[in-house]
Every structure is written in structure tokens, then in C-alpha cells.
Structure 1
Amino acid sequence: MSPSRRRPRPILALVAANLRRQARDRTGLFFMLVMPFVTIAFVGLALGGGSDGGTRLPVGVVAGNDDPVAAAVLEELAASPNLDVERRDTEEEVRAGVREGRLAVGLLIPPGSTELELVMTQTNGTGMAARGAVDVAVGRVSAVLEATRAAEAAGATPEEAAASVRAAREDLAGVEARAPDDAGQGTDPRGFAYTAPANLVLFTFINSMAVAAALVETRRLGMVRRSLAAPVRPSTVLAGEALSRLVVAVGQALLIIVVSALMFDVSWGDPLGVAVVVGAFCLVATGAAMLVGSLVRSPSQAPAIGPPVGIVLGMLGGCLWPREVAGETLTTVGYLFPHAWAMDGLLTLARPGQGAGEVLVETAVLLGMAAVLLVVSLVVFRRRAMTMR
């Protein structure tokens, strides 16, 4: 048998040995098999539940019964598929409902006024989603009011102005409007459809960093140095160690995709696009794990450093909450790291009609980051493995 055919066997042996050692870590298995889905469930419910944005968001409204502007706004709000309008008697009821989380947002419509007040919390992802839908509804009414003013300014009689308004509303009814991208979560998935991709990115990276401790133990015991002294090519040993971490990352990602689709009815979008983005991010996580495992000196240091770093990057990348909540500065900083690019790619694919062609930029950035991390980590790992006692 030729050497080229025998070469994969040492790689597979290293992968199998590393996976067996990982399977004996009960704490690690808990964070891989249980914790992601607990987080998806609780955070997903906090962000509105549902998997495709179908959950109607409660909006509390205080408005006069005989006010024409209020009647028009209420009609548009009731027609929105994303909102559940709840009338309230007082402003205090609305503010308390928003503050306590029973209402996504509140809308105060003073009688005889076109000055509307939106009540919302600045750290509520569900509120950001409801705000986008409310903006659309109010925008429709504003367009009708402008049509009325224009007709009257042009000298139309009240009857002619009313006819113009009816025509404007009929034309507007056929227009599918949506909130702009900077209006919050109006164009992004929410509920489970948001938390499933977020936790895939978060836990794939964190658990990859955590298993770097096994790599440190391998170096400490001199196993890699002895393998390099055997009649096995150094590239084979390095490939085996890297492939072990990649298998863990891919396994974690696939588990979250499959279970979230079955348990929470999450639709991930175009399979090819998801595979490309997730595969690129798993390579990033592998490179990060190899680098941490190469730099730290004891097995206890890897889990002490890796997960906190992963959580911080997850915050910046929108894995713990929508990035809009963090503000423009932190959102911009987040794009220095892979989590933000992976989240952008997965959330884009979750929207209807989006495919792999729409995430080429995100994929290219992730692959570039992965290449840098893998090259640097493999060089550092080989030098440390050969010199460490």
C-alpha cells in the first residue's frame, strides 16, 4: 500500500483519541448538549417567541374615541400582521405595561393632535421590532393627512378633498411597506429565529475555546513531541489536532441547527448558504482554539480565558442581544471580530428569498479570519510542542 493511502490513518487516530477524551468531560458535554437549548428557549421567549416572526406583539394605545386621526391610526395598527392592539384608559397603564414587559411598546394619541408619543424601553429587542411596525402604520396615516392638506391647499372643496383622501388610502393599501433597516429589528428575525443563530455562533466558539484545554494537556505530556519524533510527518500531527477541534465545532453547530429546527420550528434558510457561513465560522473557531491551546501553559488556563473572551465577542457581535441596543460605536467595533459577520450572514439567510449569493462578503471575511488564525496557530503550536517539556 502506498504511503499516500496510509497517511490519513494517523490523522484519524488522533481525531478519535481526542474525541474520546472530550466525551469523558461531563461538564463540557453539558455546555454542548444542554446549555445552548436552554438559552435559546428562555431568550427566544423574551424576544417575542415564535420562529418566523408570526407572534403578534402587544401594543398599548391610549386614544380618543371620536378623534379621526386616532381612528385612522388604530385602523392601520389593527391591519398590521405583527401587532396586537390593546386599548388602555390612561397613560400610566401604558407606561407600566411597557416597563413591566407586558406590552412591547405604547402609543399615546392626544385628542385633536397629530403629535403622537411612542413609549418603549431602549433595551428591549421586542420593543424595537414593534417600533418598526408602528412606524409603518403611522407613516401610512401621515401620507393620507398630507394628501388631504395638499388637496385643500390646491383649492379643493371638502368633498373633493375627501375623495382624494379615499383614493390615496386605496392606493396606499396596495403598497407593501416595511420599516427601514435602522429602525431596529423590523427586518430581522426575532424570537427563536434570532436566538438560534445567535447561540450557534456563541456556543460553537465558546465550546471550541473550552476544548483547547485538551490541546494544552497533550503538549504538557509531550504526546505531540513524541508523535513528531515518530515516522509521522509533522503536518499529519498538526492536521490531526486541528481536525479534532473542527469536528467539535461542526458537531456543535449541526446539533443546534437540527434540534432548533425540530424543537422550535426555526427555519434557517438556504441550506447551501447556511453550510458555507457555518463552515467558515467553524474554521474560525478551530483556529482560535488552536491558538489558545498553543499559547497557554496549563490546562486550567484555557477554560478560564477562552469562554470569557467568547462571551465578550458574542456581546459585540449581537449574540446576546440585538446589536442596535449596544449603540453605533460598539456595533462598529463588533465588526472587527468574526461573530458580527457570522450573525449578519445567518440573519440574512433567515429572511425569505435570500441565498448563498447574498452572504458572499460575510463568508469571504470569515474565511480570511480563519486563514490567519489557522496559519498563526499552527506555527505557534508546532514550536511550543517541540520545545515544551
Structure 2
Amino acid sequence: MRPLLVVGGRELAARLRDGTALLVAVVAPIVLATLFGFALGGDDDPPLTATIGIVDDDGGQFPASVQREALQTEELRDVLTFAQYPDEAAAQAAVDSGAAGAAILFPAGFSDSVGEGNGGSVNVIESDESPLAGVVARSMVDRISSLVEARTYAVRASLEAGVPGDQVQEFVEANGAAGPSLTLADDPVSGGQVDLAMYYGSGMAAMFAFFVVGASARSLLVERRLGTLSRIRAAPIPGWTPVVGKMMVGFGLALVSMCATWLSSVLIFGITWGDPLGVFTLILGHAFAATMIIMLLASRAQTDSQADGYTLAVAFVFAFLGGSIVPVYNLPDFLQSLSLITPNGWISAGLTELAAGAGIGTVVVPALVLFGIGSVAGVLAALRLRKGLLS
């Protein structure tokens, strides 16, 4: 342990002396997280609102009942307003201009078709500029689809059971044929349940963890180029000592960086990231995964400049796909699926659930995945390093 502590202490002293540890691990992520928080989050934000346009070419019971139910939903009571438009062109113009965040189009004969058991469908127009309206509109369409499906099956089953055709509608309504109630089941961020100051603060913490560890990986390759690594390995110490020593420093600084960003976000904006034990568990898992991924990249790099390039590319790609820079719900569907191959995506998902009020149990799966990613990357890095830097 003594040689390991000496190497680690030397690495930490060098990082503190040249200022990179303070700048990359503490100053940069806190400053960026604070700027994002003031620009997009904070306590003084106005409440989120959503306007949804309605084109009712049907004139039947469904359009009115769905709107009435939406306005009676507690979480939408002070958020949602409806605007009526005469046709699709007017609704599209309203969405394009920002007058409405989304629009739902009910075709003529929709209610009659559903009542007869023939089914039916509605169309929705969305805008990327108003994600909350899109979430509400999709929830409403899902509700309508559930009602249509339930009513269609109920009518057909009633007819097959011998209920007279002129009594089917009354029979179905008396015995119930409703789908699930209207809820905001989409992303808690887009639904307004999570403060954006917390979301972007955690995103900056997750992204900069890679940069913090990258500095230690780079120094390992610099010492190989300068011959320092060979001199260290010539001493009567295990060959893995310099690698593990630098890895420990990188991991420790990444952990400090993420915790500092967490603390600053709480103190500056007065918000919560959720259960502290759950938050720390996810931070620990992400710091471990980031450390092992960067060490794996370092094991493949030939020069320190190449290691810098690998770190930069992975940090930004993972940050983009994992929601650290752009919320996942704003990405195309195929990119949203890719978010779960990144540690950023898993920590973002876990922290978002915690901040939305979920219990500590929700971090179990994200934490296990983060530690699993780190373990796999660590094993691969060890195998590569044995053939490279340690050979």
C-alpha cells in the first residue's frame, strides 16, 4: 500500500499544483451548472403551462368528455388550456406560431364509429418548442385509444352475446368500458415535476466526471513518453502500482467533483436531488463507471494527445445521448433507446426519479447497471494494460 499511496499522492499533488484539479473538477462544472440553472431553472420560474388546440369535426361525446376529464385532472388543473380551431390548417398554423403547443384532430363520425364498435383514430400535431403540451397531448391520445379499444371490444362482445343492436350502447355504458384514467406518464422533466436546475446540474456533474478522470489517464501516457513510468516500474513494486495510483486519484476527484456540483446546486437554488443516500449511490456508481471507461480508452491510446481526443469524444457523445446536455425526451426515438447504453443515461434516469419524489428503491437498477458498466470496462482495461503499459 505504501508505494500505491506515494504514487497517488504524487499524482494528486501534481494535479493540485498545476490547477487542473480545481478548474476541471470543481470550478467548471459548478459554473456551468449554475448558469444553466439560472437560465432554465431556479425557484423563480413561472409555472409551466400548456395550450392544446382541438379540431372537433366529430361533434360527438368523445371530444367533449376527454377535454372535460383532462381539465379535472389534478396535475393539469392549473397547467392546461384548450383552444378550439375550425380545421387542421388553422391548428397547424397555431402550433407553428407557438399559439398552441400541440393539437388533437377528431375526424367526422368518430364518436358514432366508436359507439358502433368499429373503432376510430385521432391525429395529433406536436411542436418541439413545447414538450409539456406534447406530453399532455400524447397522454390524451393514449387515453382515447384505450377508450376506443375498450368500447370496440365491449360492443363486439355484447353483440356476440345476443344483446339487441339497439340496446348495445346502453348496455356497454351501464357495464363500463373505459380505459385507464388520464395521467402524465411521460418523462418527469418534460412533465414539469423536476426542476431544470437540478437536471442540468446533474448533467454537468456527469459529463465533467469523464474530463476529471481523463487528466489522470493523460498523465499516465505522458509519463510513459518521458520515461518516468519505466523508472517507476524498475523499482521493487508491483507493475500495476502507477496505473492504480493514478486511477484512484482520478476516481476520487471525479467523486469530489460530482458531490461539489450537487452541493452547490442545493445551496444556490434551494432545490433537492432526492434522497441523499440514493443520490450518493448513483454518483458513486457513475464516478466508478467513468473512471473505468476512461482507463479502457487510455489502454488503447498511443499518445497523450490521442487519449485527450478519446476522452473528449466519449464525454460529449455520452453527455448528448444520455441527456446531460439535451433532455432525452427531445431526442428522436432511436436515440432515446441509445441513452441506456451510456452511464449518463442511467444516472440521469435515476436522479430524475429521485428528484420527482420516488423512493431510494428506484436507484437499485440504475446503480447496479452503473457498477456493471464500470466492472466490465475495468476488466477490459486491465487486460489491455497488461499487454501495453504494463508489459
Q: What's the TM-score, normalizing by structure 2?
A: 0.71
C-alpha separation in 2, matches of 1:103 and 1:191: 22
Report the secondary structure of 1:98's partner residue: helix
> Where in structure 2 are the equivalents of 1:166-185 lying within 5 Å?
177-178=182-183
C-alpha separation in 2, matches of 1:270 and 1:285: 23
The one of 92, 95, 115 equivalent to 1:95 is: 92
The one of 312, 327, 331 equivalent to 1:321 is: 327
The residue identity in structure 1 corresponding to 2:69 is: E
Runs of 5+ unmatched residues, structure 1 = none
Q: Is the 8 A contact 2:37 2:201 kept in 1?
A: yes
C-alpha separation in 1, matches of 2:165 and 2:108: 27
Q: How many residues align?
A: 371
C-alpha separation in 2, matches of 1:188 and 1:15: 40
The residue identity in structure 1 corresponding to 2:226 is: L
C-alpha separation in 1, matches of 2:213 and 2:332: 26
> Where in structure 2 are the equivalents of 1:263-342 lying within 5 Å?
263-264=268-269, 266-319=271-324, 320-322=326-328, 325-328=331-334, 330-342=335-347
Q: Which residue of 1 aligns with 2:72?
A: 79
Runs of 5+ unmatched residues, structure 2 = 112-120
C-alpha separation in 1, matches of 2:60 and 2:68: 12
Identity of aligned residues (%): 21
RMSD: 4.8
1:99-149 C-alpha deviation (Å, 9 max, x unpaired): 355543223456875464321037964454233443466579879989x98
Report the secondary structure of 2:183's partner residue: coil
Report the secondary structure of 2:242's partner residue: helix
The residue identity in structure 1 corresponding to 2:365 is: V
Residue 366 of structure 1: how far off its partner (Å): 2.0
Residue 277 of structure 1: how far off its partner (Å): 2.1
> Where in structure 2 are the equivalents of 1:1-389 lying within 5 Å?
8=5, 10-23=7-20, 31-39=28-36, 44=40, 55-62=48-55, 69-80=62-73, 81-82=75-76, 83-89=79-85, 91-92=88-89, 94-101=91-98, 103-109=100-106, 113-114=110-111, 116-121=122-127, 125-135=131-141, 138=144, 177-178=182-183, 189=194, 191-192=196-197, 194-209=199-214, 212-230=217-235, 233-264=238-269, 266-319=271-324, 320-322=326-328, 325-328=331-334, 330-356=335-361, 358-378=362-382, 380-381=384-385, 384-385=388-389
Q: Is the 8 A contact 2:26 2:261 kept in 1?
A: no
Q: Is the 8 A contact 1:110 1:116 kept in 2?
A: yes
Greater displacement, 33-42 / 368-377: 33-42
Greater displacement, 240-249 / 251-260: 251-260
